[in-house]
Amino acid sequence: MPSNQNIQNDEQFRDKISTVDKSGKRIWIYPKKPSGKFTNYRIWLSYLYFVILFGLPFIKVNGVPFILINILERNFILFGLHFGPQDFYLFAIAMLILLVFIILFTVVFGRLFCGWICPQTIFMELVYRRIEYAIDGDYTAQRRLDAAPWNAGKIIKRVSKQFIFFGIAVLISNTFLAYIIGLDEVIKIIQEPISMHTGGFIAMIIFSVVFYVVFARLREQVCTTICPYGRLQGVMLDNRSLVVAYDFVRGEPRGKIQKNKIIAQPSAVLANDAEDYFTSVQNKLGDCIDCKLCIHVCPTGIDIRNGTQLECVNCTACMDACDEVMEKVERPKGLIRLDSIEGIEKGEHKLFTARTMAYSAVLLILIGVEVVLFSLRSDVEVLFLRTGGLLAQEQADGSISNLYNYQMINKTADSLSIEFKMLEPESGTFEIIGGKKPAVGKNNKSEGAVFIKIPKDKLEGGKNTILIGVYADGKLITKVKTTFFGPMK
Ligand code: SF4
Ligand code: SF4
């Protein structure tokens, strides 16, 4: 029986990448247009993807974007809720959750994310590549066009294709910006004079050019040489991970047979021995007819029959191509399929291993911590700190006063007019330094100083705990505990 070891003994293909020749020059990939069940699923998924990606910046919750990731101004909005620098711990835990989730997902499903979810692959294979097929034709026509001399037809095709490519890059760039600075700002940059938004306009142009270069020129190089996630596959995958895999047990030894007929006849075989020879060879051959269609459709130019490779983005195009071939030669589909090495070698499919369960446990714990911390998060944070170096003072009316500095952080989309009330002991009063009523702008912070006065007889000793109610528009929004010093008893 052929083994994975046999297939992988010749590992020379790993010494180079399929898109660079010996002199280091780029080999341009012309993948054959894929078709089939999985391609159709991906096309439908991409439609859903585009609706979400291009639609989200238009959604607002109570007048604020549903999602905003403004790294420059450290302003983050998720599900309409503001998150500022003070919520960094939530952000850090969310990043940890994402990291553990990606590791767990990769351990179980391999690089399926790359082929089915990653924006790079979705835009490349399901937008740019499809436009290319529509304008230039399938892979053989594309090769011919590239080699053809420049004439009117070629110029029209090239110019129209690059024009559409750049137009889509502008659309992606503007959407990308809308996630960072908000859709309203992007519309202003588009509608108002450039002089009013020079920085934003330059950013728009830079992003558009970058996206254009990525999709029109760099293409699969992003996945095979730039993206760090692809590089990490070696440490995350194991023999139980699901990957797009060639069933070498069924497929080898490969040979050119079509519909039970050998089409590559060794010249040494004499005509009268041929029939016996065909029968004996056919019985020994595996299901792979070596048609190389799986290589022709591959957008990264690899031969998946060599085994799992870091260039494979799990786009599943080779699965469709091979299934079509298997159908034609009346063999079972799935010679290339989503399976693990163990699944192919032993027929075992064990997703719940000690490793996946350990990652799942860590993930659940992190999610639990995030949910608890999130539920404890308040929209307005207020801090009272006794001003250092000042002692408690006895006032003429017999009350004791302490000076405090307060700091308020407003994470909501509304400006708030604030009022402090003493909850415990109730008879405490506030005297704002400067006399101005405390207020805090939307998604902003403010500071101030205040004298807190408490009747002497309400104090229990030198150190007392007091409870302050913080009200906005007459509504209690949070309570703050702090320490109040009085005379020793
Ligand atoms: S498409 Fe299938 S049959 Fe053809 S070469 Fe690839 S694995 Fe073999
Ligand atoms: S080997 Fe198959 S799944 Fe992997 S990138 Fe190529 S076509 Fe896609």
The per-residue pLDDT for 238 is 83
Query: Could you give the 3-state DSSP secondary structure of residue 424?
Result: strand
Tell me how far apart the alpha carbons of residues 153 and 424 are, in angstroms, rounded to a whole number.
84
Asked if pLDDT for residue 14 goes beyond 80, the answer is no
Q: Is the CB of 297 under 6 A from ligand 2?
A: yes
Nearest CA to ligand 2 atom 2: 318
In this structure, what token pair is assigned to residue 98? 């994402």
pLDDT band for 257, please (50, 70, 90 cuts).
Answer: low
Tell me how far apart the alpha carbons of residues 447 and 460 are, in angstroms, rounded to a whole number.
29
Tell me how far apart the alpha carbons of residues 219 and 225 are, in angstroms, rounded to a whole number.
11
Look over the chain and give the mean of its residue pLDDT values, rounded to a whole number: 87
The per-residue pLDDT for 9 is 54
Question: Could you report the per-residue pLDDT of 348-373, keeping only the tens digit for each?
Answer: 777 778 888 999 999 999 999 999 99
- Of 312, 322, 326, 344, the one to substitute when testing ligand 1's pocket (max ligand atoms within 8 A of C-beta) is 322
Ligand 2 centroid to Cα of residue 167, in Å, is: 28
The per-residue pLDDT for 271 is 47
Ligand 2 centroid to Cα of residue 52, in Å, is: 26
Tell me how far apart the alpha carbons of residues 87 and 376 are, in angstroms, rounded to a whole number.
11
Tell me how far apart the alpha carbons of residues 360 and 66 are, in angstroms, rounded to a whole number.
29
Nearest CA to ligand 2 atom 8: 315
**Average pLDDT over every residue of 92-107:** 91
In this structure, what token pair is assigned to residue 88? 């960094």
Tell me how far apart the alpha carbons of residues 370 and 203 are, in angstroms, rounded to a whole number.
34
CB contact at 8 A, 113 and 233: no
Tell me how far apart the alpha carbons of residues 79 and 93 are, in angstroms, rounded to a whole number.
17
CA 243 to chain centre: 19
Question: Could you report the per-residue pLDDT of 51-88, keeping only the tens digit for each?
Answer: 999 999 999 988 888 999 888 877 788 888 888 777 88
Q: Which ligand is nearest to the CA of 252?
A: 1
Residue 196, class by beta-carbon neighbours within 10 Å (0-12 exposed, 13-18 middle, 19+ buried)?
exposed
The per-residue pLDDT for 268 is 44
pLDDT band for 460, please (50, 70, 90 cuts).
Answer: confident
**Average pLDDT over every residue of 172-197:** 94
Q: What is the DSSP string of 197-219?
A: GHHHHHHHHHHHHHHHHIIIIIT
Nearest atom (ligand 2) to Cα of 321: 7
Query: Could you give the 3-state DSSP secondary structure of residue 354?
Result: helix
Nearest CA to ligand 2 atom 7: 298
Nearest atom (ligand 1) to Cα of 326: 3
The per-residue pLDDT for 282 is 56
Residue 73, class by beta-carbon neighbours within 10 Å (0-12 exposed, 13-18 middle, 19+ buried)?
exposed
Nearest CA to ligand 1 atom 2: 322
CB contact at 8 A, 87 and 374: no
Nearest CA to ligand 1 atom 3: 288
- Of 297, 315, 320, 335, the one to substitute when testing ligand 2's pocket (max ligand atoms within 8 A of C-beta) is 315
Whether the bond into 425 is cis, omega within 30 of 0: yes
Tell which residue, 488, 468, 487, has the closest CA to residue 478: 468
Over pLDDT 70: what percentage of the chain? 91
Tell me how far apart the alpha carbons of residues 420 and 429 are, in angstroms, rounded to a whole number.
9
Q: Is the CB of 305 under 6 A from ligand 1?
A: yes
Question: Could you report the per-residue pLDDT of 196-220, keeping only the tens digit for each?
Answer: 999 999 999 999 999 999 999 999 9
Ligand 2 centroid to Cα of residue 139, in Å, is: 16
pLDDT band for 10, please (50, 70, 90 cuts).
Answer: low
Q: Is the CB of 293 under 6 A from ligand 1?
A: yes
Tell me the sheet residues that pair with 441. Answer: none
Ligand 1 centroid to Cα of residue 488, in Å, is: 89
E strand segments, 259-323: 261-262
Which residues have a Cβ under 8 Å from the Cβ of 225 and sit 6 or more positions away?
Answer: 17
CB contact at 8 A, 224 and 298: no
How many of the other CB atoms lie within 10 Å of CB of 113?
16
Q: Is the CB of 19 under 6 A from ligand 2?
A: no
Asked if pLDDT for residue 164 goes beyond 80, the answer is yes
Which residues have a Cβ under 8 Å from the Cβ of 94 and sit 6 or more positions away?
Answer: 370
The per-residue pLDDT for 229 is 86
What is the Cα gyration radius of the chain? 33
**Average pLDDT over every residue of 445-456:** 91
Question: Could you report the per-residue pLDDT of 408-419, keeping only the tens digit for each?
Answer: 988 777 888 999
Q: Is the CB of 321 under 6 A from ligand 1?
A: yes
Ligand 2 centroid to Cα of residue 27, in Å, is: 17
Ligand 2 centroid to Cα of residue 246, in Å, is: 10
Q: Is the CB of 245 under 6 A from ligand 2?
A: no
The per-residue pLDDT for 70 is 86
Question: Could you report the per-residue pLDDT of 220-230, keeping only the tens digit for each?
Answer: 999 988 998 88
C-alpha to C-alpha distances, 366 to 82, 90, 106, 363, nearest whole angstrom: 21, 11, 18, 5
Q: Is the CB of 325 under 6 A from ligand 1?
A: yes
C-alpha to C-alpha distances, 247 to 38, 119, 236, nearest whole angstrom: 18, 29, 21
pLDDT band for 277, please (50, 70, 90 cuts).
Answer: very low
Tell me how far apart the alpha carbons of residues 37 and 60 are, in angstroms, rounded to a whole number.
37
Q: Which ligand is nearest to the CA of 304?
A: 2
Whether the bond into 31 is cis, omega within 30 of 0: no
The per-residue pLDDT for 258 is 45
Ligand 1 centroid to Cα of residue 288, in Å, is: 5
Nearest CA to ligand 1 atom 6: 294
Question: Could you report the per-residue pLDDT of 279-310, keeping only the tens digit for each?
Answer: 555 567 889 999 999 999 999 999 999 988 88
Ligand 1 centroid to Cα of residue 291, in Å, is: 5
- Of 109, 227, 298, the one to substitute when testing ligand 2's pocket (max ligand atoms within 8 A of C-beta) is 298
Asked if pLDDT for residue 250 goes beyond 70, the answer is yes
**Average pLDDT over every residue of 269-273:** 48
The per-residue pLDDT for 264 is 47
Over pLDDT 90: what percentage of the chain? 56
C-alpha to C-alpha distances, 54 to 59, 325, 349, 447, 454, nearest whole angstrom: 10, 37, 38, 39, 57
Tell me how far apart the alpha carbons of residues 376 and 3 are, in angstroms, rounded to a whole number.
56
Predicted TM-score (pTM) of the model is: 0.78
Which residues have a Cβ under 8 Å from the Cβ of 331 and sit 6 or more positions away?
Answer: 287
Tell me which of 2 and 168 has the higher pLDDT. 168
- Of 292, 306, 326, 331, the one to substitute when testing ligand 1's pocket (max ligand atoms within 8 A of C-beta) is 292
CA 248 to chain centre: 33
The per-residue pLDDT for 1 is 43
Question: Could you report the per-residue pLDDT of 375-427, keeping only the tens digit for each?
Answer: 888 878 898 998 887 888 888 888 999 999 999 988 777 888 999 999 998 88
